[in-house]
């Protein structure tokens, strides 16, 4: 027969510790880990003055705490103009809706010959297997050019509004050195998990974005979607390694030249293409064999141009909202 354990012997067994932990009587971590009470944060006088100065700048420049008479009159005019504009827009929209044809009418615009032409003649006239790419980069290429310019103009507007001006600093804004110091507070602190993930994912993301751009005339994809993927890869790299490493290969000058070159090529190439087509002049641009990577005439290089603009614009937006520069 086994003898009965004493109370002291039972308290040393694993079963005793386990059942006490299960019932909540004993916490295995209490007294076993190095625990230090959190120190109370004490703000220095210099930090308090700096925080108050930044708050005053925010209130005065962004929220307009101090308003002159001219600003008040401008705000009044802005409100009245907004109401007038909204009223006119609502009237025009309602007027347009009243002119829409009844549902089910055979001669509705959606049933006209344009969509039929896209479907039946798209492959023959554009050389693109993907009808959508043939439509937006051939039949309606100037619309796509306008959309690309909208992205460029939006980036320029953000640049004007958020850029830190290094030449003209009137003393009311934060200095460039202080702004850079504040930005470094948000730089990655050698996050091993994020950086290792970026090492693995960024090359795959960018390669997949290139594939989507180059495959746009053969299947789903194109410049907009592929450029968005590449832009996401650049943003991930920036978050993992910071501006100092990213600026080794992507700066403000890089963005300007890529955007200018891509938009210029798009404009010149399609202007030439439409001019030759409208004037029945033989175009020297071959359409190639449908289904081949080098086919569809100008659609492939135009997809590349659009993809570059979209990728650069995504990164530029993030960089501008992030620190006011590249």
Q: What is the pLDDT of residue 233?
A: 95
Q: What is the pLDDT of residue 208?
A: 96
Q: What is the pLDDT of residue 272?
A: 83
Q: Flag whether pLDDT at 171 surpasses 60.
A: no
Average pLDDT over residues 77-85: 94
- Looking at per-residue pLDDT, the higher value among 62 and 103 belongs to 103
- Looking at per-residue pLDDT, the higher value among 125 and 236 belongs to 236
pLDDT (tens digit per residue) in 278-302 = 677 777 888 888 888 888 888 899 9
Q: Report the predicted TM-score, pTM, of the whole model to 2 decimal places.
A: 0.62
Question: Quick one: pLDDT band at residue 89, thresholds 50, 70, 90?
Answer: very high
pLDDT (tens digit per residue) in 215-247 = 988 888 888 899 999 999 999 998 888 888 888
CA distance 135 to 120: 12
Q: Which of 313, 144, 115 is nearest to 216 (CA)?
A: 144
Average pLDDT over residues 75-88: 93
pLDDT (tens digit per residue) in 18-59 = 777 777 676 656 666 555 666 777 788 888 888 888 887 777
Q: For the residues of 45-110, what is the DSSP string, one character each?
A: HHHHHHHHHHHHHIIIIIS-SS--HHHHHHHHHHHHHHHHHHHHHHHHHHHHHHTSPPTT-TT-GG
CA distance 151 to 144: 11
Q: For the residues of 195-262, what is the DSSP string, one character each?
A: HHHHHHHHHHHHHHHHHHHHTTTTSS--HHHHHHHHHHHHHHHHHHHHHHHHTTT--HHHHHHHHHHH
Contact 236, 271 (CB under 8 A): no
- The mean-pLDDT minimum among 65-69, 118-122, 151-155 falls in 65-69
Place of tokens 């295995």: 28
Here the tokens at position 223 are 């410049």
Question: Quick one: pLDDT band at residue 153, thresholds 50, 70, 90?
Answer: confident
Q: Flag whether pLDDT at 166 surpasses 70.
A: no
CA distance 318 to 60: 25
What's the N-to-C CA distance of the chain in angstroms? 81
């Amino acid at each position: 027969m086994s003898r009965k354990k004493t109370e002291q012997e039972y308290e040393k067994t694993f079963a005793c510790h386990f059942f006490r932990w299960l019932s909540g009587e004993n916490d295995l971590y209490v007294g076993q880990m190095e625990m230090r009470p959190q120190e109370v944060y004490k703000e220095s006088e210099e930090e308090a003055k700096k925080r108050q100065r930044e708050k005053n700048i925010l209130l005065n420049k962004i929220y307009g705490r101090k308003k002159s008479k001219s600003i008040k009159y401008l705000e009044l005019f802005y409100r009245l103009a907004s109401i007038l504009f909204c009223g006119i827009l609502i009237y025009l929209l309602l007027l347009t809706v009243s002119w829409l044809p009844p549902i089910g009418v055979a001669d509705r615009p959606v049933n006209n010959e344009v969509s039929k032409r896209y479907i039946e003649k798209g492959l023959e006239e554009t050389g693109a297997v993907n009808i959508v790419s043939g439509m937006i980069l051939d039949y309606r290429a100037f619309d796509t050019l306008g959309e690309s310019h909208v992205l460029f103009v939006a980036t320029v507007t953000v640049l004007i509004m958020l850029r830190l001006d290094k030449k003209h600093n009137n003393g009311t804004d934060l200095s460039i050195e202080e702004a850079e110091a504040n930005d470094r507070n948000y730089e990655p602190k050698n996050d091993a998990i994020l950086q290792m993930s970026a090492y693995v994912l960024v090359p795959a993301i960018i390669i997949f974005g290139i594939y989507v751009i180059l495959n746009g005339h053969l299947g789903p994809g194109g410049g907009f979607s592929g450029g968005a993927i590449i832009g996401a890869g650049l943003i991930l790299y920036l978050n993992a390694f910071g501006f100092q490493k990213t600026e080794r290969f992507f700066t403000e000058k890089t963005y300007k030249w890529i955007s200018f070159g891509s938009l210029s090529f798009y404009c010149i190439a399609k202007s030439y293409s439409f001019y030759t087509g409208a004037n029945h002049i033989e175009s020297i641009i071959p359409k190639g064999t449908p289904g081949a990577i080098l086919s569809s005439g100008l659609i492939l290089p135009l997809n590349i141009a659009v993809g570059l603009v979209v990728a650069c614009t995504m990164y530029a937006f993030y960089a501008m909202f992030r620190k006011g520069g590249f």
